[in-house]
Amino acid sequence: MNNFNDIQNIWNSQSQPDFPDINELDKSIRSDRIKMIAKNIFGTLSLILTLVVITLVVSNFDYKYPSTPAGTILVMIAVTAAIAVNNYLLKIILNKADETSDSRAYLEELIHYRNRQRFFQTKGLAVYFILLSVGLMLYLFEFLMMDITIGITAYLLTSSWIAFVWFYLGPRTIRKQEQKINELISRTRIIADQLSGD
Amino acid sequence: MSFDEIYIKYKQQIFRLCMGYTNDIDSAKDMVQETFIIVWKNLDRFRNESSHGTWIYRIAVNNCLRHIEKEKKFEKSDMPKVIAEEIYDDKFDDKVKFLYKCISELNESERIIISLVLEAMPQSQIASIIGLSEVNVRVRIHRIKEKLANKFKTNEQF
């Protein structure tokens, strides 16, 4: 191992590339922050807007069957929960790994984080689809009773769309997300095992 | 220590660590920037840290380790040789390029450890950054040094 000193000398001899000065770094930190704030504002606004629109629709509609407000409430819960979970809850529930931990602890935390994320993305999405589908079906019931032809057409169209989402689009989206997260987990696991081994 | 001072003091060292991990100048520069953004976000915790160096290196190392999340599917090893060689900047001479190439052939944890060793970091500090015992770190360093020296010998660089 006498030669390691030579390797050390090579390491020490390297010239340095040009780095952005502190002002440029400041700029990118600022733009990073602005993006985050914009994303939060956008999330909050879309949440408020959805609630306002749905409330207006329900309050201005003279319904005869309790299934109509029940359906609306279910859709409202699904949409609100989806926006809330995506924008706020995930950050709290998932509690991303602490970047200042030592690497072994960090990688284990990262794997836990990805597992929790996988759970929410797959199971959460399934619950969202169920709430939305049942809600829509309940909401449309009143139209079915008003005019049987329009009602059946609306029912058929909606149920085919739901079936398409449920049997094709949903599983496909879930599979893709799962694959991506599984790949990340297994690659992170390989590195974590390197650190845990002997 | 202010953020400016931290940046000036550590940017070169963090760059060399990231370079050891990715063997790609552009990725390494991006990773330096990401590291300092994380440092900036955690500045309030920095003040309470007893060892600033360890704290900053932990962030840098962890950022390297989650680099897989940002990697494009197009791996560098899949590139035609000519293109892969063009990635190197003129700033590095052949010996430095060869050293980085050898380091890039090690596994992820070995790349991190050897880069820290080459930065002349004490073994106790490396142990604290990685989360291993000092004895374990010592054994690993010995093995990695051997591996690296063998690569140099095989290529008749000594």
pLDDT band for position B85 (cuts 50, 70, 90): very low
Q: How many CB atoms lie within 10 A of CB A94?
A: 16
Q: What is the mean pLDDT of residues B8-35?
A: 91
- pLDDT for residue A1 is more than 90: no
Are B108 and A194 within 8 A, CB to CB? yes
Q: How far apart are CA B148 and CA B106, in angstroms?
A: 8
Chain A contacts to B (CB-CB under 8 A): 1, 3-4, 6-8, 10-11, 13-17, 19-20, 22, 25, 28-29, 32, 97, 99-107, 110, 184, 187-188, 190-191, 194-195, 198
Cβ partners under 8 Å of residue B69, min gap 6: A184
Q: What is the mean pLDDT of residues B125-146?
A: 94
For B145, the closest of A1, A32, A97 (CB atoms) is: A1
Mean pLDDT of chain A: 83
B101 and chain A in contact, CB less than 8 A: no
pLDDT reported for residue B125: 94
- pLDDT for residue B114 is more than 70: yes
pLDDT reported for residue A95: 65
**Token code pair at residue B122:** 């004490």
pLDDT reported for residue A197: 67
Residue type, B153: K
pLDDT band for position A128 (cuts 50, 70, 90): confident
Which range of A9-23, A98-112, B90-104 scores highest in mean pLDDT? It is A98-112
pLDDT reported for residue A105: 92
Q: How far apart are CA A193 and CA B108, in angstroms?
A: 11
Min CA distance, B50 vs chain A (Å)?
Answer: 13
Return the minimum-mean-pLDDT range out of A56-70, A128-142, A156-170: A56-70
Which of A191, A193, A196 to substitute to test the interface with B, most B CBs within 10 Å?
Answer: A191
B76 and chain A in contact, CB less than 8 A: no
Instruction: Decide: A63 and A142 in contact? Cβ < 8 Å.
Output: yes
**Token code pair at residue A29:** 């930190």
CB pairs under 8 A between A and B: 123
- pLDDT for residue B73 is more than 50: no
Report pTM.
0.78
B51 and chain A in contact, CB less than 8 A: no
Q: Compare all CA atoms of chain A with the CA of B12 and give the residue at the minimum distance.
A: A16
- pLDDT for residue B11 is more than 80: yes
Are B58 and A194 within 8 A, CB to CB? no
pLDDT reported for residue B82: 43
pLDDT reported for residue A82: 82
For A101, the closest of B38, B58, B89 (CB atoms) is: B58
- pLDDT for residue A2 is more than 80: no
B34 and chain A in contact, CB less than 8 A: no
Q: What crossing angle do the helices spanning B108-118 and B123-130 adopt, rounded to 10°? A: 150
B146 and chain A in contact, CB less than 8 A: yes
Q: What is the mean pLDDT of residues A161-167?
A: 86
Instruction: Decide: A97 and A106 in contact? Cβ < 8 Å.
Output: yes
For A103, the closest of B36, B65, B153 (CB atoms) is: B65
pLDDT reported for residue A46: 80
What distance lies between CA A23 and its chain's CA centroid?
33
- pLDDT for residue B88 is more than 60: no
On chain B, the residues whose CB falls within 8 A of the CB of A114 are: none
Return the minimum-mean-pLDDT range out of A39-53, A130-144, B72-86: B72-86
Instruction: Decide: A113 and B74 in contact? Cβ < 8 Å.
Output: no
- pLDDT for residue B66 is more than 90: no
- pLDDT for residue B76 is more than 70: no
For B145, the closest of A4, A19, A198 (CB atoms) is: A4
DSSP single-letter state for residue B78? G
- pLDDT for residue B75 is more than 80: no
Residue % of chain A over a pLDDT of 90:
5
Q: Compare all CA atoms of chain A with the CA of B38 and give the residue at the minimum distance.
A: A99
Q: What is the mean pLDDT of residues A116-121?
A: 82
pLDDT reported for residue B74: 40
Q: Does the interface ipTM go beyond 0.90?
A: no
Alpha helices in chain B (DSSP H): 3-22, 25-41, 43-46, 52-65, 81-86, 94-104, 108-118, 123-130, 134-154
Which one has a higher pLDDT value, A45 or A24? A45
**Token code pair at residue B158:** 């000594």
B25 and chain A in contact, CB less than 8 A: yes
B132 and chain A in contact, CB less than 8 A: yes
Mean pLDDT of chain B: 83
pLDDT reported for residue A91: 67
The closest of A94, A122, A119, A120 to A109, measured between CA atoms, is A94
Reduce the DSSP state of residue B158 to 3 states and report it.
coil
Q: What is the mean pLDDT of residues A58-66?
A: 81
Q: Compare all CA atoms of chain B with the CA of A23 and give the residue at the minimum distance.
A: B4
Instruction: Decide: A120 and A85 in contact? Cβ < 8 Å.
Output: yes
